[in-house]
């Protein structure tokens, strides 16, 4: 990202919000398999507020904007998802602080910070069958593409492919965090809704990524 990074950041956040709202039933159905089924509903309600309040957020800089989004998400998304997704945005904002431009390296750093925040807040690790199992591999792929000199569109598309493969692979895992962990081995055979949400969101970003960025 070069020049004013705000349009790109707005595009990403808005796409995340719209995708969460559009997939409310799908994410909820996935969560209902071994969870309490409220994941899709909670995520959609929070991001609906983000979209409704879109024009009111302070856009002084990227970090300020993301912090405002984090506050809404934390307070409006119910259950455990609010603190986790809110922490992700907050940590990403911190990583973006004092960065005049958001180049590929900064974006990767923001995603790594978000993942670390989720890991700390949820006391989760890779392999615990959470959204980390899609987010971390997708971020690693973006870092790999950055080293290859790929453009932004190629990076996002490659990350989407890895996120989808990784999310689908969570079906082989036993849940160790969240309500699904109470079901023990019965959680094996179904994908993690959070990891799938990450895949769907990155796929939406890849599909809609403007060629002008």
pLDDT at 35: 75
What is the arithmetic mean of pLDDT over 19-31?
96
Contacts 24+ apart (CB under 8 A), 102-111: 102/1, 102/5, 102/8, 102/9, 102/62, 103/1, 103/2, 104/1, 104/142, 104/146, 104/152, 104/155, 105/146, 107/1, 107/142, 108/139, 108/142, 108/143, 108/146, 111/135, 111/138, 111/139, 111/142
pLDDT band per the 50, 70, 90 thresholds, residue 187: low
Closest CA to 41 of 96, 67, 85, 79: 79
Q: Who wins on pLDDT, 93 or 187?
A: 93
What is the arithmetic mean of pLDDT over 173-185?
59
Q: Give the burial string for 180-208 (b: 16+ CB within 10 Å, else e).
A: bbeeeeebeebbbbbbbbbbbbbbbbbee
The CATH number of 6-208, from 1.25.40.340, 1.10.287.130, 3.40.50.150, 3.40.50.300, is 1.25.40.340
What is the arithmetic mean of pLDDT over 134-163?
97
Q: What is the pTM of this model?
A: 0.92
Give the DSSP H/E element, type plus range, for residue 11: helix 6-22
pLDDT at 167: 97
Cα Rg of the chain, angstroms:
16
pLDDT in tens, 103-115: 999 999 999 999 9
């Amino acid at each position: 990202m070069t020049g004013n990074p705000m349009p790109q950041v707005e595009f990403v956040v808005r796409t995340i919000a719209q995708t969460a709202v559009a997939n409310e039933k799908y994410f909820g159905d996935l969560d209902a398999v071994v969870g309490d089924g409220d994941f899709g509903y909670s995520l959609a309600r929070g991001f609906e507020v983000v979209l409704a309040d879109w024009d009111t957020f302070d856009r002084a800089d990227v970090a300020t904007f993301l912090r405002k989004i984090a506050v809404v998400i934390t307070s409006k998304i119910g259950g455990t998802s609010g603190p986790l997704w809110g922490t992700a945005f907050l940590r990403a904002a911190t990583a973006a602080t004092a960065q005049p431009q958001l180049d590929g390296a900064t974006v990767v750093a923001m995603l790594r910070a978000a993942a670390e925040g989720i890991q700390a807040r949820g006391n989760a690790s890779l392999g615990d069958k959470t959204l980390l199992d899609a987010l971390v591999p997708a971020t690693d792929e973006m870092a790999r593409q950055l080293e290859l000199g790929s453009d932004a569109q190629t990076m996002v598309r490659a990350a989407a492919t890895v996120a989808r493969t990784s999310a689908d692979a969570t079906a082989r895992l036993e849940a160790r965090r969240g309500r699904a962990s109470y079901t023990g081995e019965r959680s094996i055979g179904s994908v993690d809704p959070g990891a799938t949400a990450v895949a769907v969101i990155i796929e939406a970003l890849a599909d809609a990524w403007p060629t002008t960025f």
